[in-house]
Structure 1
Amino acid sequence: MNLHALRLFHHVAELGSVTKAAELLKISQPAVTSQIKKLERELGLPLFSPLGRGILLTDAGMTLAQESARLFALEKHIEQSIEDYRAGYAGRLRVAATYLPANFLLPRGIAGFKRKFPDVDIQFTTTSSLNATDHLLRYEADIAFIGGLRNSHPSLEKTHWYEDEMWFVVHKDHKLASSEAVLAEVVKEPFVYREQGSYSREQLLSLCRVQRLNAPTVGLQMNGFSELIRVVSEGYGVAFLSALEAREEVERGNLRRIYVQDAVMNNPVFLCHRKEPLPPHALRFLETIPRNNSG
């Protein structure tokens, strides 16, 4: 079927006039009439009945008018959908993040973004740094926020996104609470560790190796941040963790910092994505997420 002729027919049927359709489309009336006659010959059906100076749709014409209206309404919908995608107002955004950005850096930005751009479908995954990288490489994520990333894959672009401090914290009544100390003194205390392979644990062990100190005793190992904070808040051990994770309990007075002068360390968070252009909605998303590029 000739879609150009069908489009002309649609406008004539919608406006009820060849003249009005020709004026709208800025073509001659004979050109419109000629195309519609060709469409009638192609279909083998009359579409209009003569009615003085007006037009009257036949039954076949009414059927075709209804279906063509649906077709061209769908065309407009498709065009609008593509325009919304190009403008970053719609699309699917798959985000992977490690624990720190997932829980402390991204929630407010995600909520604000969804209020502003409700037609962007965000699929969010909290995972390890290794798995976040794998999600990108397997095209299962569009962007990833990774804390404490040591090395990135050569196929990925890495941008510094946020810089946080690492803190030593203890219960408010601990003998080292709010004191200044050196690492050699602090590591004599039992520690509450995160799981093996976690950034905080690896960095603490690295500090000990650099200063040729024995690693602290593993008083407890906790796989979850909430459990770790709760144990230390109840009065057991020392924790080494990100300031973002500990700040709320420190401000409440449940925990106190130990100011370890020879063990100052930061915890960087990186934005990672494949070395290819990001979709428009991903760029809009990144504009809404607060960042701190200090450090």
Structure 2
Amino acid sequence: MNLRQLEILRAVVQFRTTVGAAERLGMSQPSISNTIRHIETVLGFPLFERISNRLSPTEETLILLEESEPLFLLRDAVNQRAADLRMGKIGRIRVASTAELSEAVLPRVIADYAREFPRIQISLETRPLDSVLQVVENGVADVAFAISPYERQAMAYELIDTLQAVVLCDENDPVAKLDVVSPKDLVERPMVGPQVANRIGLMMADSFRAKGLDYRPTIETRFMNAAARIVRDGWGVALVDELSAYTAMRPGLVVRPYSADMSFELSAAMPKSKSPSRQTKRFIKAFRERVALRLAEVREESRRPVSE
């Protein structure tokens, strides 16, 4: 299958009719139908089921489209770069990030950078960790920012800073009276934390296991900023990174250090096969400086007595 055939297939899935797909792509309806029949012949299995005059994609079709999505992202990136050159723009920075950093740091970095370099186009993709690294590896993004990323053979990592695990809670919670919070202090509390299925959740589970305890958050989340937001809205205590805790702070909440010897490496990820551009290096520097400022603020907050 070529990219054009995949594009036709995607349009039919989107509109659920060959007529709608034809209008979207500027083709004739018979051409759309012939292409779908040809793909089915080549692949040897049906792509759609007809239900009430609508085309319902089979499970195999949905799998094909999911696997082909990086191709469309790459094509769109190439087309956008060509448009940038045609319009005389100086450059572009394509950034990918996990949700924690897209909320805690990157909005301010991007806003400041755009004010200083108004002719540089910036794009931000927020994705789960595996997908964040994949888009950089595929060349769809120039740099990714991630917390405790996996090692990947094609990726180079630049350490930005080391984040400590902290506990975010209401100032009236028993945990808030402690100078340092241990796993034992959390097992009986209504806790929000990363699910064990992801890398950071496994790290937290290991810290509990080292003390002979089970890590069983009452509410599990994929991203740590979501856990912190739940506490911000009035429920439980959250075991999260410093930046997520800072972003969720409001009057009445406090941050306490977590006693386990656990930290998260905050890194910039880039492909080994390509040297970062001057703009990318400059953006990473701006990101590093903003992280340093945020961490100084949240660490000061963690030392604040509850009685203040």
* Amino acid corresponding to residue 240 of structure 2 in structure 1: L
Q: Does the aligned pair in 1 maintain the 2:245–2:255 contact within 8 Å?
A: no
Partner of 1:35: none
Contact 2:160–2:288, Cα closer than 8 Å, also in 1: no
The answer as to whether partners of 1:194 and 1:225 remain within 8 angstroms in 2 is yes
For 1:66-105, list aligned pairs within 5 A: 90-105=90-105
Gaps of 5+ in 2: 1-84, 296-308
**Equivalent residues of 1:101, 1:269 under 8 A apart:** no
Query: What is the DSSP-based 3-state SS (H/G/I as helix, E as strand, rest coil) of the residue aligned with 1:109?
Result: helix
Superposition pairs for residues 45-56 of structure 1, below 5 Å? none
Q: For the residues of structure 2 that align with 1:256 and 1:290, how far apart are their CA atoms? A: 25
In 1, the alpha carbon distance for the partners of 2:193 and 2:241 equals 13
Contact (CA 8 Å) 2:97, 2:132: kept in 1 or not? yes
1:38-95 Cα shifts (integer Å, max 9, x gaps): xxxxxxxxxxxxxxxxxxxxxxxxxxxxxxxxxxxxxxxxxxx79xx9xxx8222211
How many residue pairs match? The answer is: 205
Structure 1 residue aligned with 2:270, among 269, 273, 277? 273
- For structure 1, list consecutive stretches of 5 or more residues without a partner in the other structure: 1-80
* Compared CA separation, residues 209 and 219, structure 1 to 2 (3 A): same
TM-score when normalising by structure 2: 0.58
Change (3 A) 1:259 1:162: closer
SS of residue matched to 1:211:
coil
Deviation for aligned residue 1:133: 0.9
Largest Rg, 1 or 2: 1
Change beyond 3 A, Cα 1:284–1:260:
closer
Post-superposition CA distance 1:8-52 (Å, at most 9, x none): xxxxxxxxxxxxxxxxxxxxxxxxxxxxxxxxxxxxxxxxxxxxx
**Residue 184 in structure 1 maps to residue 181 in structure 2:** no
Return closer, same or farther for 1:182/1:145 CA change in 2, 3 Å cut-off. closer
CA 1:103–1:198: 2 relative to 1, 3 Å: farther
Change over 3 Å in CA distance of 1:160–1:224 after alignment to 2: closer
Aligned to 2:119: 119
Structure 2 SS opposite 1:176: helix
8 Å CA contact 1:164–1:268 kept in 2: the answer is: yes
Q: Secondary structure at the match of 1:167?
A: strand
Superposition misfits of 4+ residues, deviation over 3 angstroms:
194-200, 222-231, 233-236, 257-261, 290-294
Is 1:238 the counterpart of 2:237 in the alignment? Answer: yes
TM-score by length of 1: 0.60
How much does 1:171 deviate?
A: 1.9
Q: Is the 8 A contact 1:178 1:256 kept in 2?
A: no
- Asked whether the equivalents of residues 157 and 267 of structure 2 are also in contact (C-alpha less than 8 Å), the reply is yes
Kindly provide the amino acid, as one letter, of the partner of residue 266 in structure 1: S
8 Å contact 1:178–1:259 — kept in the other structure? no
Deviation at 1:141, TM superposition (A): 0.8
**Residue matched to 1:57:** none
Structure 2 CA distance for partners of 1:119 and 1:206, relative to 1, 3 Å: same
Change over 3 Å in CA distance of 1:156–1:200 after alignment to 2: closer
Structure 1 residues 266 and 124: CA distance shift in structure 2, 3 A: same
Instruction: Tell me what 1:290 maps to.
Output: 288
Identity percentage of aligned residues: 20
Q: C-alpha offsets along residues 97-135 of structure 1, whole Å, 9 cap, x if unaligned?
A: 112322222222222221222222211101121111110
